[in-house]
Amino acid sequence: MASGKLIRRVGAVALILPKGDHLIAPVLTIILAPAMMWSVFGPGAIGAVVFFVVLGIYQIICIAVMLKSKSRYLLALAIPGNLVSIVIYFVSLSGVTIFGVPPQNGGIFALLIKALETVFVLVSIYVLRIVRS
């Protein structure tokens, strides 16, 4: 059986790529290639960037909580934002624009990001079951 520390590391590592995709990519794109951002997100480009930056910062906090916190409450708070991110993506696949995220086409990279977020959520739930507070 794997140790709780190893399980936490797996959860934290699972959020590294999504955090970069949600935080670094939109910021660099809006700064270095704003026309590309406008072509993808249209008039909702600024709203989408804000959404992704907030999600990226949230995921950085989630990584820290997963690695360092012994609090069940903080661990429980790490789950909803990642679930919302997953749900928003799959809703946007149906052609709906939500929180500035335009309809998506289901690319392999995006599915990988959502799979990693799902791993984080599952690990968080597992860790909640083994943590005593």
Residue numbers of the domain that contains 118: 4-130
pTM: 0.82
**Residues 3, 36: Cα–Cα separation, whole Å:** 45
Evaluated on CA atoms 1, 17, 77, 115, the torsion sign reads negative
Looking at the structure of the chain, the number of domains it has is: 1
**Which of 89, 107, 78 is CA-nearest to residue 15?**
78
pLDDT by residue, tens only, the chain of 133 residues: 567 788 888 988 998 888 888 888 888 888 998 898 888 777 778 888 888 899 889 999 999 999 988 888 988 998 998 998 888 888 878 877 776 666 767 788 888 988 999 999 999 999 888 876 5
Cα–Cα distance for residue pair 127/51, rounded to 1 Å: 27
